[in-house]
Amino acid sequence: MDLHKAAVLNFVDCNVDEMDTKNRKTQQCEDRVDSGVDSLKEEEYVAQQILEEMERLTMKTESLKETICEPWAQEVTEDGDTYLHLAIIHEAEDYAVQIIKQCQNDPFLNRQNNQRQTALHLAVVTEQPHMVERLLKAGCDPRLVDQSGNTALHIACKRGSLACFSVLTQIQTQHLHSILTFPNYSGHTCLHIAAINDYLLMVESLVQLGADINAKEQCSGRTSLHLAVDLQNLDLVRMLIALGANANSLTYGGYTAYHLTFGRHNSEIQKQLYSQTALEHTVMPESESEESEDELMFEDDCIYDDIRLCGR
């Protein structure tokens, strides 16, 4: 009986110790949950993950050193131009192609000079659509802007470069919507620029690509239709109306495109817009700066009330 009791007591003590140990481990795990390191229990798995991540980062670093740290990639002129900028400016296509091939999807392709022009901007300026295509396919970002806030597409619209325009709107189209809605630092979208410069084919293409035909330029709230009236461009007015432009859109001052026809020589534009404008928007709005004669007279009477000359 004594031996049996001793064995039972020993078993109970062992169970109690084991339960205490388990409770301590459980408490430690619970305390560690809040710190976000619960996965450390699987030490082998975690160690393997760390090794794989370190190997990946090492390979990435080596890859970056091969491209970004090349001596020629660090050279810039006093204007901030890289060798790629210079090759495109001087239309040295062979050199430009070699550089682009070595810099696929590398940030080097998006380097900006002192005028914040990328190689893509310069390719449009110099009318090199084939180079535009190579740069876009290599990873150039078409959303970057120069010192005037113009993307490469803004420049193509300003210059009337249909070839560059076509490439820019057919490659990397995932960015096209944001580019079409983006105003430059003068408040003009690509559509406004094409309208101002009378590039009717571009205007039509931009609207078909999704540009907002009723977008307001940010200076005074004029739409492309307002701008067409300012320019007295009958063909542009007709095209915009045919494409669905809203003749009742108001500028920040409350003027429709029809209001802008008053005092202008082209009566045909006025006729076109009158038929498209709601009756309540055909009457010229009163200017907030206008004052009644009584108010002016009252001001004249009070101008010198507070002035004293020689103590009088």
Instruction: Clarify whether residues 264 and 140 are in a common domain.
Output: no
Q: Check residue 171 and give its pLDDT.
A: 94
Q: In Å, how far are 10, 15, 17, 30, 279 from 20, measured between CA atoms?
A: 15, 8, 5, 15, 89
The DSSP code sequence of 207-275 is: HHHT--TTPPPTTT---HHHHHHHTT-HHHHHHHHHTT--TT---TTS--TTGGGTT-S-HHHHHHHHT
* Whether residue 226 is found in the same domain as residue 183: no
Task: Write out the residue range of the structural domain in which residue 265 sits.
Answer: 213-283
- Does 126 share its domain with 197? yes
**Do both 203 and 105 map to the same domain?**
yes
The whole-angstrom separation of Cα 56 and Cα 157 is 43
The answer as to whether 268 is a domain residue is yes
Say yes or no: 127 and 197 in one domain.
yes
Total tally of structural domains belonging to the chain = 2
Nearest-angstrom CA–CA distance, 309 and 312: 5
CATH number of the domain enclosing 222: 1.25.40.20
Asked whether residue 106 is domain-assigned, the answer is yes
The pLDDT assigned to 63 comes to 45
Same domain, 230 and 186: no
What pLDDT score was predicted for residue 211?
Answer: 98
Residue 275 belongs to a domain = yes
31 within domain boundaries:
no
Residues 205 and 87 placed together within one structural domain of the fold: yes
User: Which amino acid is it at 232?
Assistant: Q
pLDDT value, residue 56? 54
Token pair, residue 136, equals 């876009």
pLDDT of residue 271: 94
- Report the distance separating Cα 24 and Cα 187, nearest Å: 67
By C-alpha distance, which of 41, 38, 42 is closest to 30?
38
Rounded to an integer, what distance in angstroms lies between the CA atom of residue 232 and that of residue 265?
8
Last residue of a domain, one of 164, 179, 210: 210
If asked whether residues 157 and 178 sit together in one domain, one would say: yes
Reading the chain (312 residues) residue by residue, the pLDDT tens digits are 444 444 434 444 444 455 455 455 444 444 433 433 344 344 454 445 545 554 554 444 444 444 555 788 889 999 999 999 999 999 999 999 999 999 999 999 999 999 999 999 999 999 999 999 999 999 999 999 999 999 999 999 999 999 999 999 999 899 999 999 999 999 999 999 999 999 999 999 999 999 999 999 999 999 999 999 999 999 999 999 999 999 999 999 999 999 999 999 889 999 999 999 998 888 887 754 444 444 444 444 544 455 555 655
Examine residue 252 and state whether it is found in any structural domain, yes or no: yes
pTM over 0.75: no
Indicate if 91 and 191 belong to the same structural domain. Answer: yes
Whether residues 92 and 128 fall in one domain:
yes
Q: 155, 177, 210 — which closes off a domain?
A: 210
Residue 197 lies in a domain: yes
User: Does a structural domain hold residue 117?
Assistant: yes
Give the model's pLDDT for residue 259. 95
Identify whether 242 is part of a domain: yes
Do 148 and 273 share a domain, yes or no?
no
Of 210, 245, 275, the one marking the end of a domain is 210
Tell whether 158 and 182 lie within a shared domain: yes
